[in-house]
Amino acid sequence: MTGYGFLWIIFAVAFFMYVGYGCVLMYHWFTYGYDQKVAMIASFLYIATGSIALALFAGALV
C-alpha cells in the first residue's frame, strides 16, 4: 500500500464527494422532485452503482 499514497488520497476525496454529493442530490430528489417513487429509485441506483465501485476498492484490498 505504501508508494500509492496519492491514489489513497484520490480515492478518499472521491468517496467523500460521493457521500456528500449523494446526500445533497437525494435531498433535492425528495424535496423538489415531482414523484417520490422516482426519488426512491434514483437513490437506490445511486447507492447500488456506488456499491459496485466500492466492491472494486474492497477487491483491491483483499
Partner 1 sequence: MTSAFYMDDDEELLLKIRKHWFLVFLDFAIIKLFAIAPFIIIFIFPSLITGVAQEPVMIGLSAWFLLCIIAFATTWTNYYLDLWVVTNKRIVVLEQISLFHREETTMRMERIQDTTIEINGFFPSFFNYGDLTVNTAGEHTKNHTFEGIPNPEEVKALVLERVDAVTEHKDKLEFSDVQRPSHGE
Is residue 44 part of the contact set for partner 1 (CB under 8 A)? no
- Residue 29 grid coordinates: 430528489
Closest CB to partner 1 among residues 30, 40? 30
Taking the complex as a whole, the smallest distance from the CB of residue 57 to partner 1 amounts, in Å, to 4
Distances (CA, A) of 18 to 2, 34, 37, 52: 24, 23, 22, 13
- 8 Å CB contact between 54 and 22: no
Q: What residue ranges bind partner 1 (CB under 8 A)?
A: 1, 4, 7-8, 10-11, 13-15, 17-18, 21-22, 24-25, 28-36, 38, 42, 46, 49-50, 52-54, 56-57, 59-61
